[in-house]
């Protein structure tokens, strides 16, 4: 029997990168997948791709920074599938690079609203449902920058540090209710998020990032996905409030 057979799994920001790879991996383990994202075309395409393998996936357009919409999405999931077993709060943006004193306030607020409030809203309504059904597992996507700093990225660093704290606080509140809440903290992973930030392979910035990782390369999405599936599974039954570094040794320095 697969680890997630017949489990209902919600993945935010699931149309590309780590989210998309996680959706495929959960589907390979016979879970029922709900992909949510603002990118409807990519999300529907991925859901169709998964369904063609014989697995079950649906797409729902979703702005995680909208609390009302998040509640409605989770209500629809429960209406269709009857429960919510696993949630991977993965949606996030990098934001622009500026020194703090020059950081545009509207950009700061956007990064915080998606990367922090989006996780809070997701957890709030996911936990409400998991309490009703007697348990579940939540994994939040933080970052190595939830543990260390990075130049010209104060909004992103602040949000990702806050996600780690939010994960720990919620784990203390709900571990006795059979809800496991953990985070993954990836280093720099080869995804569209990195490309969109001007860090494509072959650029000077890309080479600089590689040099920050003792392993001598960037990560790939499946290396993060493997950690997400572990934390979502019963194999991690005694793991609560953890922030699992998936970082090629980045934070060991």
156 is known as an active-site residue: yes
Cα separation of 81 and 216, whole Å? Answer: 43
Phi-psi region of 122 (alpha: psi -120 to 50; beta: other; left: phi over 0): alpha
Sign, CA torsion 71/72/73/79? positive
Phi-psi region of 55 (alpha: psi -120 to 50; beta: other; left: phi over 0): beta
96 by DSSP, 3-state: which? coil
Cα separation of 21 and 13, whole Å? Answer: 11
The closest of 71, 8, 11 to 43, measured between CA atoms, is 11
Among 121, 125, 156, 250, the active-site one is 156
66 by DSSP, 3-state: which? coil
Residues 6+ apart with CB under 8 A from 45: 15
The closest of 106, 115, 95 to 198, measured between CA atoms, is 95
Residues 6+ apart with CB under 8 A from 171: 180, 181, 182, 240, 241
Which residues are known catalytic residues? Answer: 156
């Amino acid at each position: 029997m697969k680890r997630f057979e017949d489990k209902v799994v919600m993945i935010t920001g699931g149309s590309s990168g780590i989210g998309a790879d996680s959706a495929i991996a959960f589907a390979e383990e016979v879970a029922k997948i709900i992909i949510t994202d603002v990118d409807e075309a990519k999300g529907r395409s991925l859901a169709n791709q998964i369904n063609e393998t014989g697995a079950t996936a649906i797409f729902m357009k979703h702005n995680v920074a909208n609390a009302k919409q998040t509640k409605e999405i989770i209500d629809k999931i429960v209406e269709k599938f009857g429960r919510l077993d696993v949630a991977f709060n993965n949606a996030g943006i990098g934001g622009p690079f500026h020194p703090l004193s020059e950081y545009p306030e509207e950009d700061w607020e956007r990064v915080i609203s998606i990367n922090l409030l989006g996780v809070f809203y997701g957890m709030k309504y996911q936990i409400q449902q998991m309490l009703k059904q007697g348990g579940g597992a939540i994994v939040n996507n933080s970052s190595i920058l939830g543990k260390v700093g990075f130049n010209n990225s104060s909004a992103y660093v602040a949000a990702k540090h806050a996600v780690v704290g939010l994960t720990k606080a919620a784990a203390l509140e709900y571990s006795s209710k059979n809800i496991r809440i953990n985070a993954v903290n990836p280093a720099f992973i080869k995804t569209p998020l990195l490309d969109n930030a001007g860090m494509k392979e072959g650029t000077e910035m890309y080479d600089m990032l590689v040099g920050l990782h003792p392993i001598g390369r960037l990560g790939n999405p499946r290396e993060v996905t493997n950690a997400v599936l572990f934390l979502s599974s019963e194999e991690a039954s005694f793991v609560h409030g953890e922030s699992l570094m998936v970082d090629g040794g980045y934070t060991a320095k």
